[in-house]
Each structure stands twice: as C-alpha cells, then as structure tokens.
A and B are shown apart, each in its own frame.
Chain A
Amino acid sequence: MQQPEPKRHVLARRDAIVAGLRGILPESGVIAEALRMKPYETDGLPAYRQMPLAVALPETTEQVAAVLKFLHREGVRVIPRGAGTSLSGGALPLEDAVVVGMMRMNRILEIDYADRCATVQAGVTNIGITNAVQAEGFFYAPDPSSQLACMIGGNVGMNSGGAHCLRYGVTANNLLGLRVVTIEGEIIDIGGHHLDAAGYDWLGLLTGSEGQLVMVTEVIVRILRGPEGARAMLAAFKSNEIAGQCVDSIISSGIIPVALEFMDRPAIHACEAFAHAGYPLDAEALLIIEVEGSVAEQDFLLGRIKEICSQFDPISLKVAESAEQSLAIWKGRKGAFGAVGRISPDYLCMDGTIPTGQLPLVLRRIGEMSDACGLKVANIFHAGDGNLHPLIMFDANDPASFATAEKFGADILRLCVEVGGCLTGEHGVGVEKRDLMPVQFSPDDLAQQRRIKDAFDPGWLLNPSKVFPLQAPHTLAIAA
C-alpha cells in the first residue's frame, strides 16, 4: 500500500501536537503510546496497516470542533473513524495523521415519533437506532451486514446500503439532517425534522464523501413504521448462472422483494456452520428472498416468486415457517463475511455493482478468474440491486497469496465497470479501490471531483490519500 509522503514538520512536532490534544480532551481521550496506538493501525481491512501520529476520542461535537480547529492550525491530517469496520480501508491512518474516533459519541439524543425521525450521535451503531425505537414499532431501514457494530457516522461517510435497501434505499435516502464540523472547526447544521434540506442538496453531496469533506457528529435519520409481517424464503439452484438468471427474472417481472440475496456454494457452507439456518448444503447457489406486508400480501408475492423460481429447475424452495426461522436465515447472511473466516484464514471482500441483467455473465467470469488464479471465492451479495460482494479467500501469512488476491479483486472490479456497472456499491472507495478510479473516470471527471474537495478542505487534511489515485496531481496542498 503506497502512502503519501508524511509531512516532516508534523512528525517533528508530534509531542507538541499530542500536548495540544491533551489540552482539549480528557486524559483517556488521547492515545499516543506506540503500543496502545497499535490496534488503531487498521480497520475492517487488516491487510493494510499504518500507525498514526496519535488517536483522539472526543465526546462532544464541541470537542470535535476544537480538535479539528487545532489540527487545522497545525496543518495535521485527520482520519475520521467510527467502529473501524470499513472493508475498503476507509479508516486506514497515515503516519502523520491523527485518528479522530467517534466511538464515545454513542448517545441517542432525541426520538420524534410524531415526525418519524431520530437524532443520534455519529457513534451510535446502526442497529442501536432500531433497538431504540423498535418497542414503538419503528425501525431504521438501511441494514449493512455489519449493522451490529458499524456506526451511523461511518454509514453516512460511505453511504452504506444493506440487504433491505432494495426496497428502502440506501443511507442517503434515509437521512433528514446532519450536524457536521468543517476542517476549520466550524459547526454546521443541515436539514431538520422534515423532508428535503433547504438550499442545495448538501445532504446528497456529503453522504458518501468518505470523511473527505467534513466530519459528521450528529445525524437525523428517518425512522419507519415496521411492516405488518415479513417472511423469508430460500430457493436453491444447481448453478450460479441459473440462480443469476432467476434473480434477473424476478426483478424484471416487476416484483421488488424487500431483499433478494445470493450465496454460492462456499458461502452457503460457511454460513450454515455459523448460523444453523437450514441452508441446503447440496446447492450450488442459494437465493434468500424476503417479502413483507400483510399475510395475504406475503402469500401472494411468495406464490408469484415460487412460480418464477420453479421455471429454473430449483433443487428446493423453502418458505420460513416461523419468525425464528426467518431470523436464523438472516443471521447466516448477516454473519457471512465473518463466517468465511471459518473456511479461510483471510478474505478480501470486494464491492462492485452491475446491471442485474449481467449477473449470469459476471458470475461465470468470476468463476473463470478464480480457476485461473487459484484462489477460491465465495460469492455473497445483494443480487436484487446488482451489488456484488465476492469474498476472495487467501492466506495473509503468504505475501504471494495476498498479491494474487489483490489482483483478482481488481480484475473483478474492472469487469464490473466493463459491463456497465460501478467500482463500489456501498463500501466506499477508501484505499482499496483508489487506484482503480481511472478505470471508471476520465482525468477530467477526477479533476472535477477533486475541486469539490478543494472547496471544503483546501489543505487536503481530511482523510486524504483515499478515493483519488495518489499519482494524480492533486490541485493543491497534498502535492505541496
């Protein structure tokens, strides 16, 4: 992993910078000893590691503002961090950067059932929002697989999705407002308890900006009334391609299930070992299809979906008979990434999107690439919206294996772009896909995007070295 040159004057002033942080934060909020910084050197993509200059753990928006103001004055780079679950290395530090972790800002500030929204601090976990409102029958819709641990601030940064986004949209579609801090330390409120923030679509611009424009400290999310009921079904097929065709057929028939998830054979076996959900172990490919609504609606939709599945010579079709069964089915899917840890010491989780019609072709090509490079791949993804998550299995203790995995991953993402898709669905570009951006964008496109960052952060202090290829001439300070 190539990193930009650290700023010598910042490294030289490390002690003064740490002392400055200690002046702003409580004692336990500044971590500067090498041994204790070590666990902050990486995130959910542990193949990339870099020790930071220091770690700061603020507890209030005001502290965040004071920290950023101070670091801005000192010309110090800042790495925002939530739960550190990023699969694209979004929270990977730099040698001369201070990691600003939001884990202590974990309070639910206000729940407004009348206007159906909740105001929460950036360090509240995704599931924490649903947990806080579910007694009243509400939920927060976007549900990344890491929703147990990942934090809403990070969700905004990466515009995270999840299995149920097929029906409810991604983070951007479920936000009403933000409190953000600029790199200069200014606190700005955007939006409120109502639809559509005033003025330009700042929410749209900031969501998915990967911590490069501002730091998010509070979020106002839309909460929704839960459905009357939901049921999941499992459809097992003889090959990835057939399952892919079936997905395409369901979507093009006009049915939008709440979720339509795909697992291939290695994924099925790994997840079954973890969740004991009753996944068919003889299948080559499995679809998890969930519908919701009244019992009559569920029955009608499941009937139609079963009819379509039947045209693809399924090995089995099984509808969950109880809420527990549905839960177990989802437990397997949500724990899928970790569960692959049971069959392989390490994995790279790719994240690309493709037009759903290209599924069969893309799955076949991934299979061919896997055979050619000799690394196994488990395919787990949101098939309904064409968001692929191939998990490439490798051995991190073998450098050659990692290099092959990286190349395999890059080839998959190139393929996604080639068939009309995109480099990232929901994990963000981070460092992982940084150098592939020119595959998707022309130099002009990239220059325009960089101008947006210039406008918010002319010194390129906020999470630099992510998203844009290092070789590209950054307009201002990063090159200076």
Chain B
Amino acid sequence: MQTNFTAEQLRDPGIATANKILRTCVHCGMCTATCPTFVLLGDELDSPRGRIYLIKDMLESGRGAPEEVVRHVDRCLSCLSCMTTCPSGVHYMHLVDQAREVIEQTYRRPWHDRAARALLAGLLPYPGRLRLAMIGASAARPLRGAVPGNSMLAKRLRAMLALAPKRLPGPSALSGVRTHKAEGDKRGRVALLAGCAQTVLDPEINDATIRLLTRLGIEVVVAEGAGCCGALAHHMGKHDPAMASARANIAAWLREADGAGLDAIVVNTSGCGTTVKDYGFMFRGEREQAQAERVAGLAMDVSEYLTKIGYAPTREPPGLTVAYHAACSLQHGQKITGEPKALLRKAGFRVVEPAEGHLCCGSAGTYNILQPDIAPRLRERKLDNLHRTKPDLVAAGNIGCITQLSGGGLTVVHSVQLLDWMAGGPVPQGVADVR
C-alpha cells in the first residue's frame, strides 16, 4: 500500500518501522473477516484494515492522535487474529503497539479514562497492591448492581467488580522467589515467569506448573528480581514502565542462565509469553538488544516445553470432555495451536473445540474493564459456543481468559492444572464437582 512519509519522517526509526509494516499491507481485506470487533460492530473502522488506515493517516500527518483514531484503536483487542489471517505477513502487533505509544504521548484522555488506566497500570503488575485491592473488590462485589448510571465510568466500575473473585484464594505454599528441586534424576532447569496478577487471582496455576515440572525431573527457579513481563503497560502505550519491567526480567533471567544455567524460560500465561518472546523487538536499537533477544529465544509456553520434554499421565483417563479454549495470545500471538490439545488428549481427556475458536473471549488484558460495552458481548458469544460443545470442563492457557469466562456456568481451569492432575497432582478446584 502506498505511504506518504517525508524523508525526514522516515529518519525516525519508529516511523521507518511503521512504514515497512504498512508497505506489506495490500489492503485485501481478509483480516476484516476474523476480527472480533468487525464481526460485532460491522464497521470498517473497527476492523484491522480500517485501523491500519487510521494509524497510517495519523503517523503521516505527524500531528499526534485525534479522538477519532483513539476511539477505534482503543477498541482493538490486540488479539492478533488478523495476523493469523493476513496472507501478506503484516506485523499488526508492532504497528498497533506503536500507535498506542503515540496516543499515550499525544492524546489527553478524559480524566476518568486517565484515572482508570493509571489505576490498572498501578495495580495489576504489583501482586501486593493487587491483593489488597482484590480483597476490597471481593467485599464490594455484591454491590456492583448498585453502581448507578450508564457512563463509561460506571460501566467500568461494574466490570471491575464483576471480575473480582467471590473469594480470593490465599497465597500458595509454593509461591515466592526460590528454587524448586527436580524429583529423581534432574533432566533440565528452567525459570518460571511467576507473573503478577496471576499469582493473586489463581496461585494454583503456578503451583501446578511447578509440581508437574519438578515431577518430570526439571528444576524450576522463580528468579529473584523477575516480575511482571511489562505487557500490561506496553499495551496501554506506557513505554517506560513496560521497558523497566522487561529490563528487570532480562537481568534476573540472564543471571540464572549464566549461573546455574537455563534450558528455557517457561511461561504459563500466554499473554505474557507473547510479550516476552517479543523482547528482542522491544529493545531494538537499545543497549540490551542482544540480551533481550537471548531471553526471547529462551521463552517457551508451558505447553511447548512439556511437548519438548515429553509428558505422560500416571492416572487412568478420567472420562471427561474438555472444551479447549484457545487463548488469542497462544493461537495468534505465539501460533501455538496443536500442542495444548495434544497434551490434553495424551492426559486422557476427550478434547472438543468450540465454533469460532479464533474469536477472542473479550478478556484481552485490561480490555474487559476498559471496553465494558464490547467485552461482555464477546464473552457471551464465547460462552455460548463453549456450552454448545457440552463439555465437562473448559481448559485454557491464559489467566485472563480463565477469569473472563468463569462464572458463566462452566468450570474453567488452566490446561496445566489438568495435566498435573493426571500426572499425580491434586484434583483442580471445581473439577471435583463435575466428576
């Protein structure tokens, strides 16, 4: 597609990158069909092709972000379904991330929007703060119906309270910075990205991962100094905090890699996995680029790593049907589609897949709070498709989806919890009831 940047604009490395991405787009429109917001809203402006056009116009003008562009870029889930569909290989993720940065730098949002974003960016990456907030939110949850009004602020507040768990799980026995020894002969050593929000919302996921890996002879280290991957801030266009988080992780993991050694950095939250795998690009032109690339190269989704080292169940098949919900960050962001299903089958589950599996459930990081008009519609559509498969359970590889889909009449767990259970671990919570 034609672009109209001046030679001076093109000297800016950001614009040069954007120009390269825009020039790969041939405007064929294939991406529109698999974009969740286009399917719901039926407007070119809420499709990837429309957004690409808006972003192109914004970058070419050099005048910063106008409200009309912000509105439609904000509605993008960053599910990256468009990247799976695109035959031309347009790197939409890098383009929209750049647009978000421009928006953050040049557009002054209404006060309540700024407040909501600051709140999320100040809470979610910090387990201590999030935990306190969640205790409050859980207590206030029954009051969500009493929040009055139809303003964006009221809708967001209701969405936030609805997402709070009814009862917050306590911190787990295995959490915290430490090294978990391999059982039996040690076959490998990995770092686990313990993550941020996940440790508060469902610490069982990390515990199951640690139990399963150590049982398979893998030493698991939760490295000192590693924390949030930075995705949350990154997707809100907050460049500096995102880079700071990533920098801390890179330092922490390379210390381990250069010390006792690492075969992989295992990530069990696919949203984070997509970002860690992109560290190389995030640090392009920076002093730490080589280190960032090294970390990105070591990052593996837990399903990838289990496939690599080999997984086998020790329990008899439970006779349960599992609907596999493909998290967008896994299927589109990391192009991991077969592994989780194959592992679940190997574990003895009957695996079914919902129709429209490529469509996002509406979780998308903070999207379910920031876009309270669209996210619930995607959730309903996803739940409807999942219910149709008549599953006993739903398995997903991302805490965001699990939180989003919980409470919809289905038991939703992380795939790794089911794999751990079938290999000798405890029955995951909620699963006992469906058996």
Task: Mark A residues whose CB is within 8 Å of B.
Answer: 28, 31, 33, 35-36, 38-40, 42-44, 46-47, 57, 59, 83-85, 101, 103-106, 123, 125, 127, 131, 146, 148-150, 274, 335-342, 345-347, 396-397
Number of A-B contacts (CB under 8 A): 118
A-B contact pairs, 12 of them (CB 8 A): A35-B54, A40-B44, A84-B44, A85-B30, A104-B43, A123-B42, A149-B28, A274-B87, A274-B89, A340-B88, A345-B1, A397-B23
Q: Does A338 contact B86, Cβ atoms closer than 8 Å?
A: yes
Q: Does B26 contact A35, Cβ atoms closer than 8 Å?
A: no
Give chain B residues whose Cβ lies under 8 Å from the Cβ of A39: 44-45, 49-50, 53-54
Give chain A residues whose Cβ lies under 8 Å from the Cβ of B3: 397
Give chain B residues whose Cβ lies under 8 Å from the Cβ of A347: 26
* A220 CA / B66 CA spacing, docked (Å): 43
Q: Chain B's nearest CB lies how many Å from the CB of A248?
A: 29
Q: Does A46 contact B27, Cβ atoms closer than 8 Å?
A: yes
Given contacts A57-B42, A346-B1, A397-B3, contact A38 B53 (CB under 8 A): yes
Q: Chain B's nearest CB lies how many Å from the CB of A56?
A: 11
* A57 CA / B30 CA spacing, docked (Å): 20
Pick from B28, B38, B69, B86: contact of A146, CB below 8 A.
B28
- Most chain A CB neighbours (cut-off 10 Å) among B34, B45, B50: B45
Given contacts A35-B68, A345-B23, contact A85 B28 (CB under 8 A): yes
Q: Does A47 contact B2, Cβ atoms closer than 8 Å?
A: yes
Give chain A residues whose Cβ lies under 8 Å from the Cβ of B45: 31, 36, 39
Give chain B residues whose Cβ lies under 8 Å from the Cβ of A84: 29, 32, 44, 49
Q: Taking the complex as formed, is B138 at the interface, i.e. its CB lies under 8 A from any CB of chain A?
A: no
Apart from A39-B50, A39-B54, A149-B30, what are 5 other A-B pairs with CB-CB below 8 Å? Answer: A39-B44, A84-B49, A85-B29, A105-B42, A335-B30
Q: Chain A's nearest CB lies how many Å from the CB of B127?
A: 39
Q: Does B2 contact A103, Cβ atoms closer than 8 Å?
A: no
* A397 CA / B4 CA spacing, docked (Å): 8
Q: Does A337 contact B26, Cβ atoms closer than 8 Å?
A: yes
Q: Does A38 contact B54, Cβ atoms closer than 8 Å?
A: yes
Give chain A residues whose Cβ lies under 8 Å from the Cβ of B291: none
Give chain B residues whose Cβ lies under 8 Å from the Cβ of A123: 42
Interface residues of B in 62-76 (CB under 8 A from A): 66, 68-69, 72
Q: Taking the complex as formed, is B57 at the interface, i.e. its CB lies under 8 A from any CB of chain A?
A: yes
Pick from B1, B32, B54: contact of A149, CB below 8 A.
B32
Pick from A36, A83, A340: contact of B26, CB below 8 A.
A340
Q: Does B33 contact A148, Cβ atoms closer than 8 Å?
A: yes
Pick from A43, A83, A342, A345: contact of B33, CB below 8 A.
A83
* A467 CA / B39 CA spacing, docked (Å): 31
- Nearest B residue to A126 by beta-carbon distance? B33
* A33 CA / B69 CA spacing, docked (Å): 11
Q: Chain B's nearest CB lies how many Å from the CB of A387?
A: 18
- Nearest A residue to B87 by beta-carbon distance? A338
Given contacts A103-B43, A149-B33, A341-B88, contact A35 B69 (CB under 8 A): yes
A-contact bits for B16-55, CB 8 A (1 contact / 0 none) = 0000000111111111111000110111110001100110
Q: Taking the complex as formed, is B85 at the interface, i.e. its CB lies under 8 A from any CB of chain A?
A: yes
* A397 CA / B38 CA spacing, docked (Å): 29
- Nearest B residue to A87 by beta-carbon distance? B28
Q: Does A104 contact B33, Cβ atoms closer than 8 Å?
A: no
Give chain B residues whose Cβ lies under 8 Å from the Cβ of A36: 45, 68, 72
* A146 CA / B89 CA spacing, docked (Å): 16
Pick from B2, B32, B33, B42: contact of A396, CB below 8 A.
B2
Pick from B26, B41, B42, B66: contact of A346, CB below 8 A.
B26
Give chain A residues whose Cβ lies under 8 Å from the Cβ of B50: 39
Pick from A40, A46, A104: contact of B1, CB below 8 A.
A46
Give chain A residues whose Cβ lies under 8 Å from the Cβ of B85: 148
Q: Does A44 contact B28, Cβ atoms closer than 8 Å?
A: yes
Given contacts A38-B53, A148-B34, A148-B85, contact A342 B24 (CB under 8 A): yes
Q: Does A35 contact B27, Cβ atoms closer than 8 Å?
A: no
Q: Does A104 contact B42, Cβ atoms closer than 8 Å?
A: yes
Pick from A28, A38, A148, A345: contact of B30, CB below 8 A.
A148
- Nearest B residue to A59 by beta-carbon distance? B42
- Nearest B residue to A274 by beta-carbon distance? B87
Q: Tell me the dominant secondary structure on chain A's binding face.
A: loop
Q: Shortest 3 CB-CB distances between A and B: which pairs?
A: A338-B87, A341-B88, A335-B87
* A214 CA / B146 CA spacing, docked (Å): 51
* A103 CA / B29 CA spacing, docked (Å): 13
* A413 CA / B237 CA spacing, docked (Å): 48
- Nearest A residue to B51 by beta-carbon distance? A39
* A274 CA / B24 CA spacing, docked (Å): 13
Give chain A residues whose Cβ lies under 8 Å from the Cβ of B25: 341
Q: Chain B's nearest CB lies how many Å from the CB of A364?
A: 27
* A399 CA / B27 CA spacing, docked (Å): 18
Q: Does B68 contact A106, Cβ atoms closer than 8 Å?
A: no
Give chain B residues whose Cβ lies under 8 Å from the Cβ of A38: 53-54, 57
Give chain B residues whose Cβ lies under 8 Å from the Cβ of A146: 28-30
Give chain A residues whose Cβ lies under 8 Å from the Cβ of B38: 103
Interface residues of B in 300-356 (CB under 8 A from A): 355
- Nearest A residue to B355 by beta-carbon distance? A131
Q: Does A46 contact B2, Cβ atoms closer than 8 Å?
A: yes
Pick from B2, B33, B87: contact of A337, CB below 8 A.
B87
Give chain A residues whose Cβ lies under 8 Å from the Cβ of B1: 46, 345-346, 396
Give chain A residues whose Cβ lies under 8 Å from the Cβ of B27: 42-44, 46
Give chain A residues whose Cβ lies under 8 Å from the Cβ of B28: 44, 85, 146, 149, 337-338, 341
- Most chain A CB neighbours (cut-off 10 Å) among B24, B33, B89: B33
Q: Chain B's nearest CB lies how many Å from the CB of A404?
A: 15
- Nearest B residue to A147 by beta-carbon distance? B33
Given contacts A341-B24, A346-B1, contact A44 B29 (CB under 8 A): yes
A-contact bits for B349-389, CB 8 A (1 contact / 0 none) = 00000010000000000000000000000000000000000
Give chain B residues whose Cβ lies under 8 Å from the Cβ of A57: 42-43
- Nearest B residue to A47 by beta-carbon distance? B2
Q: Chain B's nearest CB lies how many Å from the CB of A182?
A: 24
Q: Does B44 contact A101, Cβ atoms closer than 8 Å?
A: yes
* A347 CA / B25 CA spacing, docked (Å): 11
* A379 CA / B85 CA spacing, docked (Å): 22
Give chain B residues whose Cβ lies under 8 Å from the Cβ of A340: 26, 88
Q: Does A339 contact B43, Cβ atoms closer than 8 Å?
A: no
- Most chain A CB neighbours (cut-off 10 Å) among B1, B43, B44: B44
Q: Chain A's nearest CB lies how many Å from the CB of B35?
A: 10
* A46 CA / B248 CA spacing, docked (Å): 44
Give chain A residues whose Cβ lies under 8 Å from the Cβ of B66: 35
Give chain B residues whose Cβ lies under 8 Å from the Cβ of A35: 54, 57, 66, 68-69
* A36 CA / B44 CA spacing, docked (Å): 10
Give chain A residues whose Cβ lies under 8 Å from the Cβ of B2: 46-47, 346, 396-397
- Nearest B residue to A86 by beta-carbon distance? B29
Q: Does B44 contact A103, Cβ atoms closer than 8 Å?
A: yes
Q: Chain A's nearest CB lies how many Å from the CB of B24?
A: 6
Given contacts A39-B54, A103-B43, A347-B26, contact A33 B87 (CB under 8 A): no
Q: Does B29 contact A341, Cβ atoms closer than 8 Å?
A: no
Q: Chain B's nearest CB lies how many Å from the CB of A346?
A: 7
Q: Chain A's nearest CB lies how many Å from the CB of B29?
A: 4
Give chain A residues whose Cβ lies under 8 Å from the Cβ of B72: 36
* A336 CA / B87 CA spacing, docked (Å): 7
* A85 CA / B43 CA spacing, docked (Å): 14
- Nearest A residue to B50 by beta-carbon distance? A39
- Nearest B residue to A46 by beta-carbon distance? B27
- Nearest B residue to A399 by beta-carbon distance? B2
- Nearest A residue to B39 by beta-carbon distance? A106
Given contacts A39-B53, A103-B38, contact A338 B30 (CB under 8 A): yes
Q: Does A345 contact B24, Cβ atoms closer than 8 Å?
A: yes
* A87 CA / B393 CA spacing, docked (Å): 45
Give chain B residues whose Cβ lies under 8 Å from the Cβ of A125: 33
Q: Does B68 contact A339, Cβ atoms closer than 8 Å?
A: no
* A101 CA / B90 CA spacing, docked (Å): 25
